[in-house]
Amino acid sequence: MKIGFIGLGNMGGPMAANLAAAGHEVTGFDLAAPVPDGVTKAASAAEAAADAEVVITMLPNGDILRSVAGEIVPAMKTGAVFLDCSTVDVASARAVAEDAKAAGLLALDAPVSGGIGGAQGGTLTFMVGGDKAAFDIAKPLFDIMGQKAVHCGPSGNGQAAKICNNMILGATMIVTCEAFALADKLGLDRQAMFDVVSTSSGYSWSMNAYCPAPGIGPKSPSDNDYKPGFAADLMLKDLRLAMQAAETADADTPIGEAAMKLYERFVEQEDGRGRDFSAMLPRFEKRGHGEG
Ligand code: NAD
């Protein structure tokens, strides 16, 4: 396939490289990042998009997505697929999809989980909103860049799935960390705590697969001085998107809101910026009851 790829940063770069390595004809554009091996460099986003059957965007946020969409939608061929893989607000995803459809294009929002390691290894999970026909066209590309793609319904539903998942993840990580800090103060050994919880009703991905206590459970960023992994800054971004969506949709999300506020303090006022999101454990270790 002829593919245009816009946004070749930490995630987009390796995703584009994997598509090129699989034999697709990839033309890429980024304002700053280098074009990876095997990808042809375009002089603008519109040039990367003009001739493509599928145009993939992997950009920082919804405002940038809307602005890039303004450039590429008029340049794309009728019937081509606009496939956005960025994590953005549901409203931007739906607005961009509507503009694309009005211009005779197919549109998908397909945010990912799996991080930079997943992008490099081609093991991402895609959560996809948009028409099933567009999903079927993009499916072989999802299979190269990832190991799983779930069609979640109409436009915006990929972003909805992503922020609901990450709201659960943020809240579970926090409570797992505070439970370890409580266990410490009660004199309960961390390994014993892990052995019980990981096989009891408190188990979760945060405990079982990504344990925030160093030296316990499978290898995770806690074993590497909390270098990300999944940075607290990115968790904060996703929790903010979840709270924005909750407000728009009039949903009551008190635990998600508490998680967002904690990550906000951790990143903006404490030492969380640039650390893994599981570094909440050393944060709680240092605090006393009611310190918030
Ligand atoms: P990044 O900052 O490394 O890459 C974004 C790229 O977009 C940059 O290279 C930037 O130069 C480029 N860009 C910005 N404006 C542009 C424009 N107008 N035209 C062309 N290029 C432009 O970010 P990333 O880590 O690759 O993340 C990309 C998206 O993936 C984000 O929405 C992020 O939330 C999401 N995501 C990231 C991770 C992760 O672990 N990094 C995991 C899941 C999802």
- Stated length of the chain: 292
**Active-site entry in 148, 162, 237, 286:** 162
pLDDT exceeds 80 at position 292? no
79 by Cβ neighbours in 10 Å (0-12 / 13-18 / 19+) ranks as: exposed
Is there a contact between 5 and 19 (Cβ–Cβ < 8 Å)?
Answer: yes
Any atom of ligand 1 within 6 Å of the Cβ of 64: yes
Cβ 33 under 6 angstroms from ligand 1: yes
Does ligand 1 come within 6 angstroms of the Cβ of 44? no
Whether 292 and 247 have beta carbons less than 8 Å apart is answered as no
Helix (H, G, I), strand (E, B) or coil at 124: strand
Residue range 99-109: mean pLDDT, rounded: 98
The letter for the amino acid at 129 is G
Query: pLDDT tens digits, residue range 159-171?
Result: 999 999 999 999 9
Residue 290: what pLDDT?
87
Q: Which residues contact 77 (CB under 8 A, 6 or more apart)?
A: 50, 51, 52, 53
Which residue has its alpha carbon closest to ligand 1 atom 39? 115
pTM of the model: 0.95
User: pLDDT tens-digit profile of 217-227?
Assistant: 999 999 999 99
